[in-house]
Amino acid sequence: MSLQDAPVPEVRINDVLIQVLKTSICGTDVHIWGWDAWARKTIPVPMIIGHEFVGVVEQVGDNVHDFSPGDLVSGEGHLVCERCRNCLAGRRHLCAHTSGVGINRPGAFAEFLCIPVTNVWAADPKIPLEVLSSFDPLGNATHTALSFDILGEDVLITGAGPIGIMATAIARHAGACRIVVTDVNPYRLELARKMGATIALDIRTGKLADVQEELGMQEGFDVGLEMSGSEHAFRDMLANMCHGAKIALLGILPKSEIDWDHVIFNGLTIKGIYGREMYETWYKMTMMIQSGLDISPVITHRFHYTDFKEAFDVIRSGKCGKVVLDWSER
Ligand code: NAD
Ligand code: ZN
């Protein structure tokens, strides 16, 4: 990856041109940085990457009537087809033909980003810019954490990456009973504690069964949020859920063997999560932040965009939460 001069994107009639103020770096960007097998088969090059952003409207197309220059906005990085059965039914997060900002079309790690008005979210200027730049992953956390009723329930979150930590705060905000978070990274476990985890367990040295005993739990966790992408974490989760428990899978798991007995005989419900609901998730996360949900401790590092190499190095070290790039100072 390199920093290059690129033309300002062309604004078509349904588009909004956004001057980018801040962007956050997603795990997906790190896969692209590492140019792994997924990135090689998915990303056409050259490509301006990045999809987590906040910015100010610079210009709108002729068909755009509900945004004007100067508006503070974030945006949904999944473009949907608007024509498939799910899109027509208003279930746009289930569109079978999505394309991605910063993946299949030019993205937000630039001074200007152009997206269709359907994907622009009017941001509340009272919310800090860094938080707004993390609305995309906060949306993943919100979509996953609110997929099942968690009020008064014992919740297990595997993976204390930025999304797992945000989900911890959401589960706390939404009235979960005990929240146990697992990871293999002490720095991130500490963040999870700060964000409301009852117990943040280093799974290299501790066992979920022991934690259940310590907490006086009788029947297992009621709701599981898989946010590590680790098959070990998922297997461990399956073995520690109560009968009838609900599991939401966000982490991108490798192909692996599952003990289906846990699922079938314990009557588990498993739901896969992709992206955010358009735009119910965006509404919910805005309202939660307006009513006291504070995810700012998740944002641990800030860099000017010209220092993007250092920013990626910090992420790869694992000693970070969310890392934000600033584009407001040219
Ligand atoms: P991340 O990679 O920063 O965090 C994953 C965390 O899991 C890390 O802290 C890692 O140390 C931890 N981990 C590794 N092995 C573990 C184990 N055995 N038990 C417990 N924890 C373990 O990722 P993130 O940005 O927080 O995203 C979380 C997951 O969600 C990733 O897998 C990501 O690819 C996925 N994701 C999915 C979607 C979607 O739409 N489905 C969107 C965004 C991210
Ligand atoms: Zn569709």
- Gap from CA of 298 to ligand 1 centroid (Å): 14
> What average pLDDT does the segment 115-135 reach?
98
Write out pLDDT tens, residues 251-296.
Answer: 999 999 999 999 999 999 999 999 999 999 999 999 999 999 999 9
47: closest CA among 1, 91, 15, 9?
A: 1
- Residue with the smallest CA separation from ligand 1 atom 26 is 161
Average pLDDT, rounded, for the chain:
97
Quote the crossing angle between the two packed helices 135-145 and 280-290, to the nearest 10°. 100
> What average pLDDT does the segment 214-224 reach?
98
13 ligand 1 Cβ < 6 A: no
Write out pLDDT tens, residues 35-50.
Answer: 999 999 999 999 999 9
Question: Residue 330: its pLDDT value, please?
Answer: 77
Share above pLDDT 70 across residues of the chain, in percent, rounded to a whole number: 100
> What average pLDDT does the segment 104-122 reach?
98
Spatial distance between the Cα atoms of 319 and 309, rounded to a whole number of angstroms: 15
295 ligand 1 Cβ < 6 A: no
- Phi then psi for residue 323, to 5 deg, are -115, 125
- Residue with the smallest CA separation from ligand 1 atom 1 is 161
> What average pLDDT does the segment 95-122 reach?
97
* Contact between residue 142 and residue 278 where contact means Cβ atoms under 8 Å apart: no
Q: Is 127 left (phi over 0), alpha (psi -120 to 50) or beta?
A: beta
Question: Residue 272: its pLDDT value, please?
Answer: 98
Ligand 1: nearest atom to the Cα of 273: 41
The tokens of 112 are what?
């200007």
164 ligand 1 Cβ < 6 A: yes
187 ligand 1 Cβ < 6 A: no
Write out pLDDT tens, residues 137-172.
Answer: 999 999 999 999 999 999 999 999 999 999 999 999
Which one of the listed residues 23, 28, 158, 198 is annotated catalytic?
28
Active site residue 28: yes
> What average pLDDT does the segment 212-221 reach?
97
Count of beta carbons in the 10 Å neighbourhood of residue 206: 14
Instruction: Tell the burial category of 239 from Cβ atoms under 10 Å away from its Cβ (0-12, 13-18, 19+).
Output: middle
Question: Residue 6: its pLDDT value, please?
Answer: 96
Ligand 1: nearest atom to the Cα of 253: 32
The model's pTM: 0.97
pLDDT tops 80 at residue 241: yes
pLDDT tops 90 at residue 180: yes
- Residue with the smallest CA separation from ligand 1 atom 4 is 161
Quote the radius of gyration of the chain (alpha carbons, Å).
Answer: 20
The tokens of 212 are what?
């259940």
Question: Residue 126: its pLDDT value, please?
Answer: 98
